[in-house]
Structure 1
Amino acid sequence: MTLPEQDTGDAMRVLRGLDDGHASVRLRTALAAGTAPEPRYVGRLVERCATEPDFHVREMLTWALTRHPASTTVPRLIDEVRSERVQARSQALHTLSKIGDRRAWPAVTRTLLSDADDEVARSAWRAAVVLVPEDEESELADVLSAQLGRGGRETQLSLSRALIALGEMILPTLRAAMTDADPGVRAHAIATERLLRDPDSGFGSAIEEAKRVVALGAHGQER
């Protein structure tokens, strides 16, 4: 069926608007693409996610994709998580976590969960805890716990949140990590358990207290 000329013109304006030099125009364009979803937008929205420099526009692009049928968006996003471009992988994983279609679970591989880029890994952790089937949660907890002690505070907080999202079944894994040879791993595991027990405690105070516990433990062993 031939689309009415006006509809075709509107679609072309949306597709062109995503490349506009002004972030405000790209933001409005992404909003329009989500407000009136069209299958022909999906490919361009996914492509733009990989290169868009503005955080707010990227979030709107993700929102626009969530407004389209998962049967159309998820296969394109799964292709993107295999991209060599860091932002393409990160944003595709972020969008898959927002869509929440568990058919995407096999795409969240161990390689992505341990990606060298912190932002990709963080996006993979968030996607994994949303998409993981119940009977694979224990295995995921083991994979995630292997990343304990990694990166700076924001990265560690992201990992703690992902582990906590799996619930109390992570406790045996955390307790095993508390005996790790690396003091950074031990401290991160202790802080994560404290956040699980008391979500209002705040990660900053939890990690500092955990570091003190580890330091005192090491001092006690020396004595």
Structure 2
Amino acid sequence: MLIGEVARRSGVSSRMLRHYDSLGLVRPTGRTVGGYREYSDEDIRRIFHVEALRSLGLSLRQIGRALEDPAFEPSDLVGDLIRRTEERLKREQELLERLRAVDASAPLGWEGVLRIVELLHGLNSPHAARRQQTVLVPAEDLPVPTELLAEAVLGEADLNVAGALRWALARAGGDGVASLAAGARSENVDVRRRAILALAGMPGDEATAVLAEALGDSDETVRGRAALAVGARGGSAAVPALVRMVVEGTLDVEAAEVLGSLARDAGRADRIMSALADELAAPTADSATRMRLTQALAEMPPALVRDVLRNLAEDEDRAVALLASALRGMLEAGE
């Protein structure tokens, strides 16, 4: 079969077939009387083998080695191709995210585009001080877009930089809540924790709804931070989690303060006091747990705890009795 016919049937151009010939990759086994290249069926099969390997991203040199070296191990080459492809996809994904960030920022002219790119470089810097400076000292005419801040919050491991990002995001308003909401549902627990901390500083019902959803999270830290935030916003749904935090000693002081604030509402007071009393009376409650619960009573409105403290002052557990007596004395002294 002559080169033109081979090109038509295989889809490989005559020019490329000649290039294959010059490299020794696919050499036609015959020539016509006039000196034209003539390909056998075996030559054509080799062309298709070359094209198949090219489709995997192999270079022509790698293809030649694969077809000629009997000791060649395809698994090594395929593994290398997988790694290089993953790296390329990662770079392309980063580029896509940058382009989307630029587009979302709606810059005016090329100067605006370049400033957004500079901002992205600052937020992605390997140096924590540079990332923090980018957030705290943005260009006067280029505030950091909330979507960029939200994405940066979710990926920031440095505590100081993360704090600066959350501060800047809270000042920027509620536009970043959607990105944080996605982070709050991430499979990565560290991302969920960062999202909840940031959402706790965001105003609005949308942020509150995401925080309330996180009350059922599988991670104790996520649940605790969400409960503190929801409770601080007046959400009764946080009460069981806050009481559990006091029982377990997880941010128990903060949880007790939020419970005390919630108990100032008559509609919640009975529920909170009943929950604390049930835990105090629970047969599984050890002395340390009952001490924390007694201490939590100090945060409640005085009218709600006067009788409870009087009874606890006679408790069989000497430490609990002494604490209750001291708290009762402080309460009476303040009246």
With the length of structure 2 as denominator, give the TM-score of the two structures.
Answer: 0.50
Q: Report if aligned partners of 1:100, 1:130 keep a CA contact under 8 Å in 2.
A: no
Query: Could you tell me how far 1:118 is from its partner in structure 2?
Result: 4.2
Q: What is the rounded CA distance, in whole Å, between the counterparts of 1:142 and 1:120 in structure 2?
A: 15
Counterpart amino acid of residue 22 in structure 1: H
Q: CA RMSD in A?
A: 3.1
Q: What is the rounded CA distance, in whole Å, between the counterparts of 1:12 and 1:44 in structure 2?
A: 11
Name the residue aligned to 2:242.
Answer: 144
* Counterpart selection for 2:273 from 148, 151, 171: 171
Query: Could you tell me how far 1:115 is from its partner in structure 2?
Result: 4.3
Name the residue aligned to 2:196.
Answer: 93
1:160 counterpart = 2:256: yes
Residue identity over aligned pairs, in percent, reads: 22
Q: In structure 1, list runs of 5 or more residues that go unmatched.
A: 199-209
Query: Could you tell me how far 1:171 is from its partner in structure 2?
Result: 2.9
The change in CA–CA distance for 1:54 and 1:145 in structure 2 (over 3 A counts) is: same
Name the residue aligned to 2:182.
Answer: 79
Q: Report if aligned partners of 1:118, 1:151 keep a CA contact under 8 Å in 2.
A: no
Q: In structure 2, list runs of 5 or more residues that go unmatched.
A: 1-105, 303-311, 322-335
Q: Deviations over 1:84-133 (max 9, x none)?
A: 222322222222221221222332246x3364544323321222123445
Name the residue aligned to 1:19.
Answer: 124
With the length of structure 1 as denominator, give the TM-score of the two structures.
Answer: 0.72
* Counterpart selection for 2:226 from 114, 124, 148: 124
Q: Deviations over 1:58-95 (max 9, x none)?
A: 0111122123231x212221221111222322222222
* Counterpart selection for 2:291 from 187, 205, 211: 187
Q: What is the rounded CA distance, in whole Å, between the counterparts of 1:34 and 1:3 in structure 2?
A: 15
The change in CA–CA distance for 1:218 and 1:10 in structure 2 (over 3 A counts) is: closer
Query: Could you tell me how far 1:191 is from its partner in structure 2?
Result: 1.3
Q: What is the rounded CA distance, in whole Å, between the counterparts of 2:231 and 2:130 in structure 1?
A: 34
* 1:50 match: secondary structure: helix
Q: Report if aligned partners of 1:87, 1:120 keep a CA contact under 8 Å in 2.
A: no
Name the residue aligned to 2:307.
Answer: none
Structure 2 counterparts to residues 40-51 of structure 1, below 5 A:
41-51=145-155
Total equivalences in the alignment? 196
Q: What is the rounded CA distance, in whole Å, between the counterparts of 1:19 and 1:147 in structure 2?
A: 36
Query: Could you tell me how far 1:218 is from its partner in structure 2?
Result: 9.2
1:37 counterpart = 2:143: yes
* 1:178 match: secondary structure: helix
Q: What is the rounded CA distance, in whole Å, between the counterparts of 2:277 and 2:176 in structure 1?
A: 39
Counterpart amino acid of residue 252 in structure 2: Q
The change in CA–CA distance for 1:14 and 1:115 in structure 2 (over 3 A counts) is: same
